[in-house]
Amino acid sequence: MSTREAPSSIPTQSLATPDNPIYRRRVWVNRFNLAVSIAAMAFGMVFLLWILFTLASKGLAAFGPALFTQMTPPPGSDGGLANAIFGSVMIVGAAIFIATPIGIMAGIYLAEIGRESAIAKVTRFVNDILLSAPSIVIGLFVYALIVARFKQYSGWAGAVALAIIAVPVVVRTTETMLLLVPNSMREAAIALGAPQWRVVTMVTLRAVKGGVITGVLLALARVSGETAPLLFTSLNNQFWSTDMSAPMANLPVVIFQFAMSPYEEWQRLAWAGALLITLVVLALNILARTVFRQKNK
Domain at 230, CATH number: 1.10.3720.10
Whether residue 28 is found in the same domain as residue 151: no
Whether residue 128 is found in the same domain as residue 151: yes
Exposure string over 187-225, b if 16+ CB within 10 A, otherwise e = eebeeeebeeeebbeebbbebbebbbbbbbbbbbbbbbb
Whether residue 124 is found in the same domain as residue 72: yes
Phi, psi angles (nearest 5°) of residue 194: -75, 135
Give the separation between CA 20 and CA 14, rounded to whole angstroms.
Answer: 7
> Could you give the number of structural domains in the chain?
2
Q: What is the pLDDT along the chain (297 residues), one digit of tens a residue?
A: 444 544 444 444 455 676 788 888 888 999 999 999 999 999 999 999 999 999 999 988 888 888 999 999 888 788 899 999 999 999 999 999 999 999 999 999 999 998 889 999 999 999 999 998 999 999 999 999 999 999 999 999 999 999 999 999 999 999 999 999 998 998 898 898 889 889 998 999 998 988 899 899 889 989 998 999 999 999 888 889 889 999 999 999 999 999 998 888 899 999 999 999 999 988 888 888 787 665 544
Whether residue 58 is found in the same domain as residue 91: no
Is 268 among the domain residues? yes
Whether residue 141 is found in the same domain as residue 279: yes
Domain residue limits at 40: 21-62
**Where is 119: in which H helix or E strand?**
helix 118-132
Whether residue 206 is found in the same domain as residue 252: yes
pTM for the full predicted model = 0.84
